[in-house]
Chain A
Amino acid sequence: MHIVDRRLNPQGKSLENRQRFLRRAKALVQRAVRESTGARDIRDVMEGGEIAIPLDGMDEPRLHRGAGGVRDQVFSGNKEFIEGDVLPRQGGGAGGKPREAGAGESEDAFRFVLTREEFLDLFLDDLALPDLAKKRLTDADSDSLSRAGYSVSGSPANMAIGRTVRLATMRRIALRRPRAEELEKLKAELAECPDEDGRAELALKIAALEAKSRRIPYIDPIDIRYRRFENEPKPVAQAVMFCLMDVSSSMSEHMKDLAKRFYMLLYIFLTRRYRRVEIVFIRHTDRAEEVDEQTFFYDQATGGTLVSSALETMKEVVTERYNPADWNIYAAQASDGDNAYSDGSATVGLLRGFILPACQYFAYLEVGEEGDGSLSRSSLWTLYEQIRSENPVLAMRKVSERSEIFPVFRDLFEPRPAHEGAST
C-alpha cells in the first residue's frame, strides 16, 4: 500500500476551468456584478462576494423524460395505506402525495462566489480614462528586450553556437592547427613506409603535429560568444489624476461620505487599471493643501469654502511637476456646490485660463443631502455649466444617494467615442 500526501500539491488546480467558466458567462456575470454593486458598500465591493447569475446559456442539457405519462414510484415508511387507496394529488400536477425526487427541475439562478480580483476586474472591465494621448519616453517598467549583437560574456543559455564555432574555425585556420585528416594520412603513410629513415622522419612529423594540435585547442574560451540583449524603453502614456475635495463645514457627514466613496472607487480604478498613473490628493476649505492618501480619506478638517484655492494649488503642482506637454492630466472635483460669491470670477478665470486647457478631462461631482432630488442650482454648478458649453472636457454629475455612486462613476468613465487624436 502507498500513502501519498497530496495536501501540499499546488493549489488552484481548477483555476483554469474557473476562468473558462467566467469567460463564458462573462456578460451574465458582469450584469450581475453591476446590479450587486448598487446595494453594497464600497468596502464590501473590494472584498468580492457572492453573486447569482441566471442559468440560461450556462446549462448542460441532457436527454431525459419530462413530467407526464404514467409514473410508478416505490416509497418507504408506509403508515396507513392499504392497496387500492386513492390519494388526492396535491398542487394539481403530477407528484401526488410524496415529494417527487428531484426530477431535473433546475434552480432559476446559479450562485457562486467571486474573489476580490475577479469582482473588481469585471466591475472595472470596460472603463477607461478618456483621451489618454500624450506619450513620452519614460524609464522603468515598460522596457522590452531586444537583440543587440554578441558579447563575450553571458549566461550559458544564451550561447550563440553558430557564432562560436565560426570564430573557432577561423582561429584554427589562422593558426594552422593540423587537421585530423592530415594526421590520419601521415599515420597511414607511416604504417606503409618501408625504410627506417622515412619512418623516423614521419614519426617526428606526426609527433610535432600532435603537439601542435594539443597546443591549439579545437574550441578556445576566447571563441565563445553570447547573444546579447538590451532593454529598450517603450513609450508609455503617463497620466496624473488630481483629486480635489471640498471638506469645508458646509459639507455634511453624508456628503463627505459620498465624496470619499467616489474617490475610493476612483483610486481603486486607477491603481488597478493603470500602472503608471500618479494621483495627487488636494483637499480644501478656504485654504487648500496637497495631502497624502491617508489624510485625504481619513483626516478631519473644517473651515469656509474657496474653490479657487484648490484650483490654485493644482495649478502650482502642475507647473512644478507635471508639464502639460508630457502628461495626460485628469481631475475629479467633489463639492457640495457652495462657494464664496466673491470667489466665482477667480474660479472661472483659473479654469478657463489654465486648468481646462491643460486637462484631458475634468469631472465635477456635486454631492447633495440624502433624499435631496431638488433641481435648485448651486452657485458652483451654475458657474460650471456656463464653462461647459464652450469646453467639452468638463463633465458634471450630481449624486445624493449612496447607490448612485456606482452608476455615476461608470457613467463618467465609460469609454466614449474618442475625441481627435485620442488613442492608447
Chain B
Amino acid sequence: MTGAADERLYQGADWNFQTIQRIHDACERVALGELGLTIYPNQIEMITAEQMLDAYSSVGMPLFYKHWSFGKHFAHHEAFYRKGVKGLAYEIVINSSPCISYLMEENTATMQALVIAHAAFGHNHFFKNNYLFKLWTDAEGILDYLNFAKGYIARCEQRYGEIAVERTLDAAHALMSHGVHRHPGKKKTDLREEEQRARGRREHEDSVFNDLWRTVPAGPSKSASELSQERRRALLGLPQENILYFLEKSAPRLRPWQREILRIVRHVAQYFYPQGQTKVMNEGAATYVHYRIMTRLHEDGAIGDGDFLEFLRSHTNVVFQPDFDDPRFSGFNPYALGFGMMQDIERIVTRPEDEDREWFPQIAGANDAMGVLRDIWENYRDESFISQFLSPRLMRRMRMFHLCDDPDNADGVRVAAIHDERGYRRIRRQLARLYDVGWIDPNVEVVDVDLEGDRRLILRHTVVNGGLLEETDARRVLQHLADLWSYDVLLEEADASGAILKRHVASPRHAAVALQID
C-alpha cells in the first residue's frame, strides 16, 4: 500500500522546518483524533550535539545554576561521545508548559518523525495527565523558577563568595535524594510564587529589623527539660524523612541565603521525583504512542515503505531486551517492558483469552483499548502498574524468573520463582517492588535533636533485609550534613526490631559553613 508520492510528508532523509511542521501536524491529527491524547502546547527545538551534551550535564534542563559537578558530567559525557563509546539520545523532552522537545540536528526525517511522535505527543500526554506529575510538578512554573534559581545563586556567589556557595550546594546535592516529600501536603507546589515569596521574606526582614531588640534583656527561657521529648519532637515535626526540608527549617546556624539554596535544591529534587517513579510507564506510553502514530501514518501513505523500515529498525533497537546471560544485560529495559505491557493491555482489551478474563476481569474485552490505556497512564505509577497489569502471558514471553540471594544460604543463589502457574504472582510482586521508590531508596529519617542541649542531630536508617548503607558514601554524606547542621550528627542503622546494627558519627568541619557574624 504505497501512497502517491505527493501525499508523503517528506522524501529521503533530509528535512527542513516545513517538513517538521508537516510531520508535527500529521502526528497531531493521529494523536489527538485517533488516540484521544491531551497535551501541553508543543515547542520543538533543534539542537547540535554539543548542546545535547550541555543538556545532559544539566539534567536535561535548558537553564540551570552553575556548579562544578555539571562541568564534570559534561567532560565525562564528552569524552565518551568523542571516543564513540556512547551515542547521544535522539531527543530530550522537558516536563514544562509549553512542552519543550529537543531534537538533534543529525536525525534523519524519519527519526524526526519518530521522536516527535514519541516525545512531543507520548511523553507530553503522560506529563500532563499522570497523577504523580499533576501532584508534584508545576509545568507552567518550572522554567521561570529555574531562571530565578540561577539568578539567585549567581547573586549569592557575588555577595558571599563562590566557595561558600559551592560548599552549600555540594552538601545540598549530597542530600538531594533525601530532599523530597513522599507524601502530598496540603498545598500544591506553585513555583511561580517561590520567587515572590523569597523576595517578600527578605523585605519583611528588612522592614522589621530593629537593632534595639538585641539590647532588650531576655527573661529566663523555658528550660528544655520542661518540654517532654514527645512534645519536642512534635514541635520540630519529627520524625522527618525530608532531610533538606528539616535543615531548611530547623538548622540553627544556617544563614538565610543558605536556607534558600537548600530550598532550591529541594524543589528541583521534588520536580524530578515523579520521573524516577514512572520510568517504565512513561517510556512505555511514549513508545506505544509513537508506534501507533507511525503505523497509522504509514497506512495512510504519509510515510514511504523504505522510511517505515528505517523506523522499524530504530524501534526494535529501542525495545530490545537482552537475556540475563547476555553481556549487554543490565536489568530490564524500561522501553521493552513498558512497550510490551502496553501492547499486552491492548491485546487483553480487544482480543482476550480465558486466562486474561480470569486475571483481568475488569478490562478484558472492554474493547476500548485507548480508553483503558489513558486511564492507566493517568492513575498509576511503575510499582502499582506492574503489580496490577503484568500478565502471565508477558512473563512467559520474556521468560522471567526471580533469584533470591541470601548471604545465609551458603550453597548459592536460589531460584525463587519462574514463569509458571505457581510463580506468576510472586514474580509480579517482586518485580513491582524493584520499581517501588520506597523500597529502592534507603529509608533515612531525622528522628531526634535536642536544640536546647548539645544539639546533636540523630538520624535513623531503617534497615530492610539486612542491607546496610554503603559505608564510604554514607560517611561523606554525613560529613556534608554535619557541615550544614554545624553540630555533631549521628546516623544509626537499625533493623525492624529496633536493634542498632551500626552507627556513623560526623562532626562539622569548621570552615565548611560560613560562620554567622553576630
Instruction: Mark A residues whose CB is within 8 Å of B.
Output: 1-7, 9, 11, 13-14, 16-25, 50, 58-79, 81-89, 94-99, 101-102, 104, 110-113
With A17-B57, A18-B71 already in contact, the answer to whether A74 and B402 are too (CB < 8 A) is yes
Q: Mark B385-423, 1 if CB is under 8 A from A, else 0.
A: 000000000000011111111110101111111111011
Contacting pair A83 B403 (CB below 8 A): no
Determine the chain A residues whose CB is within 8 A of the CB of B24 once the complex forms. 1
Determine the chain B residues whose CB is within 8 A of the CB of A82 once the complex forms. 415, 418
Contacting pair B442 A63 (CB below 8 A): yes
- Cα of A164 to Cα of B35 in the assembled complex, Å: 72
Q: Mark B16-54, 1 if CB is under 8 A from A, else 0.
A: 010011001100100000000000011111111011011
Contacting pair B66 A69 (CB below 8 A): no
Determine the chain B residues whose CB is within 8 A of the CB of A94 once the complex forms. 405, 407
Least CB distance, B6 to chain A, in whole angstroms: 23
Determine the chain B residues whose CB is within 8 A of the CB of A78 once the complex forms. 324, 399-401, 418-419
Contacting pair A72 B330 (CB below 8 A): no
Q: Which of A1, A19, A66 contacts B469 (CB 8 A)?
A: A66
Question: 4 new A-B pairs (CB below 8 Å) besides A69-B407, A75-B400?
Answer: A1-B28, A18-B71, A77-B323, A104-B470
Contacting pair B470 A76 (CB below 8 A): no
Determine the chain A residues whose CB is within 8 A of the CB of B324 once the complex forms. 75-78, 97-99
Q: Which residue of B lies closest to A114 (CB)?
A: B75
Q: Which of B128-136, B139-147, B474-482 contacts A (4 or more CB under 8 A)?
A: B474-482
With A70-B465, A74-B400 already in contact, the answer to whether A62 and B413 are too (CB < 8 A) is no
Q: Which residue of A lies closest to B18 (CB)?
A: A3
- Cα of A18 to Cα of B74 in the assembled complex, Å: 8
Contacting pair A14 B69 (CB below 8 A): no
Determine the chain A residues whose CB is within 8 A of the CB of B327 once the complex forms. 99
Q: Which 3 A-B pairs have the closest CB atoms?
A: A77-B323, A21-B71, A69-B467
Least CB distance, A7 to chain B, in whole angstroms: 5
Contacting pair B466 A70 (CB below 8 A): yes
Least CB distance, B274 to chain A, in whole angstroms: 19
- Cα of A21 to Cα of B170 in the assembled complex, Å: 12
Q: Which of B277-285, B342-350, B428-436 contacts A (4 or more CB under 8 A)?
A: B428-436
- Report if B468 contacts A (CB, 8 A): yes
Q: Which of B172-180, B189-197, B368-376 contacts A (4 or more CB under 8 A)?
A: B172-180
Q: Which of B76-84, B208-216, B229-237 contacts A (4 or more CB under 8 A)?
A: B76-84
Contacting pair B178 A63 (CB below 8 A): yes
Q: Which of B162, B463, B476 contacts A61 (CB 8 A)?
A: B476
Can you list 13 pairs linking A and B with CB atoms under 8 Å apart? Answer: A3-B17, A21-B69, A61-B477, A63-B442, A69-B467, A71-B465, A76-B324, A77-B321, A81-B415, A83-B420, A83-B422, A88-B412, A96-B413
Q: Which residue of A lies closest to B466 (CB)?
A: A69
Contacting pair A74 B68 (CB below 8 A): no
Determine the chain B residues whose CB is within 8 A of the CB of A24 once the complex forms. 68, 166
- Cα of A23 to Cα of B75 in the assembled complex, Å: 13
Q: Which residue of A lies closest to B473 (CB)?
A: A61
Instruction: Mark B residues whose CB is within 8 Å of A.
Output: 17, 20-21, 24-25, 28, 41-48, 50-51, 53-54, 57-58, 66-72, 74-76, 78-79, 82, 98, 102, 105, 120, 162, 166, 170, 173-178, 321-327, 329-332, 398-407, 409, 411-420, 422-423, 427, 430-431, 433-434, 441-442, 444, 461, 463-474, 476-477, 480
With A7-B47, A86-B409, A99-B329 already in contact, the answer to whether A20 and B469 are too (CB < 8 A) is no
Contacting pair B71 A14 (CB below 8 A): yes
- Cα of A74 to Cα of B45 in the assembled complex, Å: 39
- Cα of A304 to Cα of B321 in the assembled complex, Å: 74
Of the listed residues A1, A22, A111, the one surrounded by the most CB atoms of chain B closer than 10 A to its CB is: A1
Determine the chain A residues whose CB is within 8 A of the CB of B17 once the complex forms. 3, 5
Contacting pair A17 B51 (CB below 8 A): no
Contacting pair A65 B43 (CB below 8 A): no
Contacting pair A72 B433 (CB below 8 A): yes
Of the listed residues B417, B442, B467, B476, the one surrounded by the most CB atoms of chain A closer than 10 A to its CB is: B467
Contacting pair A60 B174 (CB below 8 A): yes
Contacting pair A98 B325 (CB below 8 A): yes
Determine the chain B residues whose CB is within 8 A of the CB of A113 once the complex forms. 75, 78-79, 82
With A22-B71, A61-B174, A65-B467 already in contact, the answer to whether A86 and B414 are too (CB < 8 A) is yes
With A4-B46, A21-B71, A86-B413 already in contact, the answer to whether A59 and B476 are too (CB < 8 A) is yes
Least CB distance, A321 to chain B, in whole angstroms: 46
With A62-B477, A112-B76 already in contact, the answer to whether A96 and B21 are too (CB < 8 A) is no
Contacting pair A2 B72 (CB below 8 A): no
Contacting pair B42 A1 (CB below 8 A): yes
Contacting pair B323 A21 (CB below 8 A): no
- Cα of A18 to Cα of B67 in the assembled complex, Å: 9
Determine the chain A residues whose CB is within 8 A of the CB of B178 once the complex forms. 63
Contacting pair A97 B413 (CB below 8 A): yes
Q: Which residue of B lies closest to A94 (CB)?
A: B405
Least CB distance, A349 to chain B, in whole angstroms: 56
Contacting pair B74 A63 (CB below 8 A): no
Least CB distance, A6 to chain B, in whole angstroms: 5
- Cα of A423 to Cα of B156 in the assembled complex, Å: 36
Contacting pair B325 A77 (CB below 8 A): yes
Least CB distance, A83 to chain B, in whole angstroms: 5
Q: Which residue of A lies closest to B326 (CB)?
A: A77
Q: Which residue of B lies closest to A102 (CB)?
A: B330
Least CB distance, A231 to chain B, in whole angstroms: 30
- Cα of A81 to Cα of B325 in the assembled complex, Å: 13
- Cα of A101 to Cα of B412 in the assembled complex, Å: 18
- Cα of A97 to Cα of B53 in the assembled complex, Å: 36
- Cα of A25 to Cα of B322 in the assembled complex, Å: 38
Contacting pair A77 B82 (CB below 8 A): no
Contacting pair A2 B44 (CB below 8 A): yes
Determine the chain B residues whose CB is within 8 A of the CB of A95 once the complex forms. 405
With A70-B465, A85-B414 already in contact, the answer to whether A6 and B46 are too (CB < 8 A) is yes
Q: Which of B329, B418, B480 contacts A83 (CB 8 A)?
A: B418
Contacting pair A83 B417 (CB below 8 A): yes
Q: Which residue of B lies closest to A20 (CB)?
A: B68
Contacting pair A61 B413 (CB below 8 A): no
- Cα of A353 to Cα of B224 in the assembled complex, Å: 85
Contacting pair A9 B51 (CB below 8 A): yes
Determine the chain A residues whose CB is within 8 A of the CB of B28 once the complex forms. 1
Q: Which of B69, B422, B468 contacts A65 (CB 8 A)?
A: B468
Contacting pair B74 A17 (CB below 8 A): yes
- Cα of A364 to Cα of B221 in the assembled complex, Å: 77
Contacting pair A62 B473 (CB below 8 A): yes
With A66-B471, A77-B399, A113-B82 already in contact, the answer to whether A61 and B431 are too (CB < 8 A) is no
Contacting pair A73 B405 (CB below 8 A): yes
Determine the chain B residues whose CB is within 8 A of the CB of A16 once the complex forms. 66, 71
Contacting pair A20 B71 (CB below 8 A): yes
- Cα of A111 to Cα of B433 in the assembled complex, Å: 35
Contacting pair A72 B404 (CB below 8 A): yes
Determine the chain A residues whose CB is within 8 A of the CB of B473 once the complex forms. 59, 61-64, 104
- Cα of A21 to Cα of B45 in the assembled complex, Å: 28
Contacting pair A81 B418 (CB below 8 A): yes
Contacting pair A63 B474 (CB below 8 A): yes
Least CB distance, A33 to chain B, in whole angstroms: 14
